[in-house]
């Protein structure tokens, strides 16, 4: 396959779109990723298909919605079902291998209870479950190779519950040399795979899958001190009282021990997240420098996105969960494709699972029929691109059983919260999603229109939620 395009897929974990330089953040420094974005096509209106890890990652592997592939929840959710592929599901890794590619996975996996990268066509180390590698043999072997005995942390920052007990670990300093940090471990393994693939006669696909900037933010001292919390402004919606919204959102503040957080606490969290993001950027820079040195940069397509976003203090919330705010629904996204013009920024709705058929087209492989994903290749050339008419998002529960679906269309977002009050936001006049317009007379027609579309999607996808809610207000 002489002349075939190599593919490097860089995936962040739980990265807010507005905490990336190439999407205009003034808070965080991401110079290496920004240079890649500037040389490619940036998608301004990219969303996740599902705002938690396993369902989103499974959709990116398969190009179909969670309701169709069967991975509805994270495997550690405690729910009895909805954590594995249904029979007959095929992934792009297997398809690319069949098309003559060497296919590698490096880093976080987090799909299914026992499903491995090898089951999906990839070479690579398997990190079970959420899989943070602090005690994984491969990471420990890497630490030994650089003269470090074990991963150690200090200066821990925890939340606290109302009774004074210690809550969730939110940030900590990883002690020892910076090379011991997990993003540098990933960079080292990706570089090894680049060299291994380059020694052969097949093009490569390498998936570089970070565990960050997902909380807790465990990073070296220099990165933890890189951003001064005193210079971090509060998010415009950080003090949202959550009035007129589902009660579970207030409960999740309590779950994280965030009820009593001050603005200084949130600033420390945002600063740590920014430090983690710059650490990831430095690891990407190491990999790109190696591609340049190996003479492979000009023949390698680079895809970048995140599985979903993260709250990081938006609406006074942490992490992700049973709330479909823009902070976790929107994702950063770009493609730098050899031979295609750079410096482009395109509008139009896209989903992160749209990378799946785009990978196949880049490789010259057949794209299977029946996908929910759509190739982004037309967006890389010409001016005829328009994207999707709307964005539909599935959430089947995380940290507690809770069913939610969202639709973004025409500057509006409607969120169907199965067991609780629904939400409707005018994203143009209220981008912070502070005022829930559900039930208002002036928004009645908009609500009915968007409920009808969601009902059509639920039925069309064979979504299991249809058994419980389609005969309730969803018919309104």
Residue 278 φ then ψ, to 5°: -70, -35
| Number of domains the chain is built from | 2
174 lies in a domain? yes
Decide which of 379, 412, 439 is a domain's last residue: 379
Specify whether 429 is located in the same domain as 282: no
**What is the structure's pLDDT at 464?**
86
Same domain, 131 and 34: yes
Same domain, 26 and 91: yes
Best CA proximity match to 342, nearest among 379, 388, 369, 371: 379
Same domain, 465 and 363: no
Asked whether residue 386 is assigned to any structural domain, the reply reads no
Same domain, 429 and 358: no
CA distances from 334 to 43, 299, 303, 305, 315 (A): 6, 17, 6, 7, 27
Alpha carbon of 212 to those of 12, 208, 309, 379, 471: distances in Å? 6, 12, 11, 28, 40
Domain assignment of residue 431, given as a range: 403-476
Same domain, 211 and 338: yes
Q: Establish if 159 belongs to a structural domain.
A: yes
User: 407 and 354: one domain?
Assistant: no
389 lies in some domain: no
User: What tens-digit pLDDT sequence spans the chain (476 residues)?
Assistant: 445 899 999 999 999 999 999 999 999 999 999 999 999 999 999 999 999 999 999 999 999 999 999 999 988 877 777 889 999 999 999 999 999 999 999 999 999 999 999 999 999 999 998 888 999 999 999 999 999 988 899 999 999 898 889 988 999 999 999 999 999 999 999 999 999 999 999 999 999 999 999 999 999 999 999 999 999 999 999 999 999 999 999 999 998 888 889 999 999 999 999 999 999 999 999 999 999 999 999 999 999 999 999 999 999 999 998 999 999 999 999 999 998 889 999 999 999 999 999 999 999 999 999 999 999 999 998 778 889 999 999 999 887 788 999 999 999 999 999 889 999 999 999 999 999 999 999 999 999 999 999 999 999 999 988 877 766 777 64
Tokens for 21? Answer: 């330089």
Strands 41-43 and 344-346: parallel
Helix 263-293 crosses helix 182-198 at what angle (to 10 degrees)?
20
The Cα–Cα gap between 361 and 303 comes to 13
Q: How far is CA 96 from the centre of its chain?
A: 22
Q: What number of other Cβ atoms are within 10 A of residue 149's Cβ?
A: 9
Asked if residue 75 and residue 21 are part of one domain, the reply reads yes
pLDDT the model gives residue 398: 85
Q: Is residue 392 part of a domain?
A: no
- Round to whole Å and give the CA distance between 352 and 107: 18
Structural domain includes residue 136: yes
Q: Are residues 317 and 460 in the same domain?
A: no
pLDDT score, position 456: 93
Phi and psi (nearest 5°) for 205? Answer: -120, 120
CATH of the domain at 234: 3.40.720.10
Domain at 408, CATH number: 3.30.1120.10
Q: Are residues 374 and 408 in the same domain?
A: no
pLDDT of the residue at 475: 65
Residue ending a domain, choose from 344, 379, 414:
379
- Residue 128 domain flag: yes
Whole-angstrom distance, CA of residue 291 vs CA of residue 299:
9
Residue at which a domain ends, from 379, 413, 447: 379
Structural domain includes residue 398: no
261 and 371 inside one domain: yes
- In a shared domain, residues 181 and 307: yes
Distance CA 412, CA 430 (A): 10
């Amino acid at each position: 396959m002489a002349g075939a395009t190599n593919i490097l897929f860089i995936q962040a974990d739980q990265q807010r779109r507005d905490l990336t330089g190439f999407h205009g953040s003034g808070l965080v420094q991401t110079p290496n990723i920004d240079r890649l974005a500037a040389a490619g096509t940036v998608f301004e209106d990219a969303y996740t298909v599902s705002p938690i890890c396993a369902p989103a990652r499974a959709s990116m592997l398969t190009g179909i919605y969670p309701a169709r592939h069967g991975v509805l929840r994270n495997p550690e959710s405690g729910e009895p079902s909805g954590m594995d592929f249904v029979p007959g599901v095929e992934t792009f890794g297997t398809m690319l291998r069949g098309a003559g590619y060497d296919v590698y996975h490096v880093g976080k996996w987090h799909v299914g209870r026992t499903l491995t990268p090898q089951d999906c066509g990839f070479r690579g180390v398997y990190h079970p479950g959420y899989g943070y590698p602090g005690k994984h043999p491969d990471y420990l072997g890497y630490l030994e190779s650089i003269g470090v005995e074990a991963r150690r942390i200090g200066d821990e920052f925890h939340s606290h519950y109302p009774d004074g007990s210690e809550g969730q670990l939110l940030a900590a300093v990883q002690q020892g040399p910076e090379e011991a940090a997990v993003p540098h471990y990933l960079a080292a393994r990706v570089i090894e795979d680049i060299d291994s693939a380059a020694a052969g006669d097949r093009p490569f696909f390498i998936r570089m899958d970070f565990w960050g900037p997902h909380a807790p933010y465990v990073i070296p001292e220099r990165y933890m001190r890189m951003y001064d919390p005193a210079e971090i402004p509060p998010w415009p919606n950080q003090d949202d009282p959550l009035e007129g919204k589902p009660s579970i959102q207030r409960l999740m503040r309590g779950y994280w021990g965030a009820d009593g957080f001050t603005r200084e606490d949130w600033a420390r969290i945002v600063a740590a997240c920014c430090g983690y993001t710059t650490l990831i950027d430095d690891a990407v820079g190491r990999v790109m420098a190696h591609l340049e040195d190996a003479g492979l940069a000009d023949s390698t397509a680079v895809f970048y996105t995140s599985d979903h976003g993260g709250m990081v203090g938006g609406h006074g919330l942490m992490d992700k969960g049973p709330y479909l705010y823009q902070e976790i629904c929107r994702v950063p996204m770009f493609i730098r494709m050899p031979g295609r013009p750079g410096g482009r920024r395109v509008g139009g709705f896209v989903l992160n699972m749209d990378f799946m058929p785009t990978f196949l087209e880049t490789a010259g492989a057949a794209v299977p029929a029946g996908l929910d994903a759509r190739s982004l290749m037309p967006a890389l050339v010409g001016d005829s691109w328009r994207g999707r008419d709307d964005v539909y998002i599935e959430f089947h529960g995380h940290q507690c059983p809770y069913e939610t679906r969202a639709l973004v269309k025409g500057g509006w977002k409607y969120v169907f919260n199965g067991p609780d009050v629904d939400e409707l936001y005018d994203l143009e006049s209220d981008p912070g999603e502070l005022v829930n317009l559900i039930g208002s007379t002036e928004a009645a027609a908009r609500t009915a229109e968007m409920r009808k579309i969601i009902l059509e999607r639920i039925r069309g996808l064979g979504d299991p939620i249809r058994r419980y809610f389609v005969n309730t207000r969803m018919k309104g």
